[in-house]
Amino acid sequence: MTASLPVLYSFRRCPYAMRARMALCLMGHKVRLREILLKDKPEEMLTASPKGTVPALVLPDGEVIDESLAVMEWAVRTGEGPLLPLTEEMRELIAENDGPFKHHLDRYKYATRYEDADAEVHRAAGAAFITGLNERLTVGGQLFGTVPSFADYAIFPFIRQFRIADMDWFDAQDWPHVHTWLARHMASPLFTTIMQKFPLWKETGEEVLFGRDYSPATSTGE
């Protein structure tokens, strides 16, 4: 029976993979989760998705969805749950997160990987984006009102990553609404669920039946 479920290649700490796992859970999907290491990708994953990024969702008919937002949109389109489709305004905010903000996040958190990257400059540029989120959150506590939207789930893993770079500095910033918003999402049962540690599939062959309800399961193969 599990062989008829989609396969999800995922890496626990990747924010792109986090947003996909949350959407799949929220919309009631069950998948065969295969936890990987980005530095040691299984051949089966690279055969399905040569680009080698996570998430990569392999549907039962062989179709591969290997963009995180596309996985989220597939989950919304085919599942049943609280997430509503993207609006154009949400798409624009997510594009700003995934483009300019992610650019600055990488060069702030991993400055040594980028030649001539000035971490302070990139931190300031990233902080400007977060200041805008703080202003947006003053109205209803979420990015588009009072209920978490597609955009909240798509963006907050990246704000979490920005905070991890220097938590004392982040927590000292005058972003009261961002602090509350981020803390609530990080403490949610949903986030706790999707951040559980699972065995590496390449090492053990062990999949997890993952979704709104999940349990360990031995791999049944493709």
Q: Give yes or no for residue 221 having a pLDDT over 90.
A: no
67-98: pLDDT as tens digits: 999 999 999 999 999 999 999 999 999 999 99
If asked whether residues 44 and 115 sit together in one domain, one would say no
If asked whether residues 163 and 129 sit together in one domain, one would say yes
If asked whether residues 97 and 172 sit together in one domain, one would say yes
Pair 133, 143: CB distance under 8 Å:
yes
Pairing of strands 56-58, 7-10: antiparallel
If asked whether residues 6 and 67 sit together in one domain, one would say yes
Identify the domain containing residue 38 by its residue range: 2-82+191-218
If asked whether residues 103 and 170 sit together in one domain, one would say yes
The owner of tokens 């947003």 is 19
What pLDDT, on the 0 to 100 scale, is given for residue 213? 56
The 10 Å Cβ neighbour count of residue 66 is 19
If asked whether residues 137 and 209 sit together in one domain, one would say no
Nearest to 105 by CA among 87, 136, 126: 126
Q: Give yes or no for residue 1 having a pLDDT over 70.
A: no
57-70 mean pLDDT: 97
pLDDT tier for residue 2 given thresholds of 50, 70 and 90: confident
Tell me the CATH number at 149: 1.20.1050.10
If asked whether residues 26 and 71 sit together in one domain, one would say yes
pLDDT tier for residue 158 given thresholds of 50, 70 and 90: very high
If asked whether residues 37 and 101 sit together in one domain, one would say no
What pLDDT, on the 0 to 100 scale, is given for residue 211? 87
If asked whether residues 12 and 32 sit together in one domain, one would say yes
| Residues 135, 110: Cα–Cα separation, whole Å | 27
Q: Give yes or no for residue 154 having a pLDDT over 60.
A: yes
Q: Give yes or no for residue 217 having a pLDDT over 80.
A: no
96-152: pLDDT as tens digits: 999 999 999 999 999 999 988 999 999 999 999 999 999 999 999 999 999 999 999
Number of domains in the chain: 2
If asked whether residues 73 and 9 sit together in one domain, one would say yes
Q: Which tokens belong to 153?
A: 């789930």
Q: Which tokens belong to 120?
A: 């302070």
Average pLDDT value over all residues in the chain: 93
pTM of the model: 0.93
Q: Which residues, 6+ apart, have CB-to-CB distance to 143 below 8 Å?
A: 90, 93, 133, 136, 137, 149, 151, 152, 155
178-182 mean pLDDT: 98
Q: Give yes or no for residue 37 having a pLDDT over 60.
A: yes
If asked whether residues 43 and 101 sit together in one domain, one would say no
| Residues 82, 174: Cα–Cα separation, whole Å | 31
Tell me the CATH number at 207: 3.40.30.10
If asked whether residues 94 and 21 sit together in one domain, one would say no
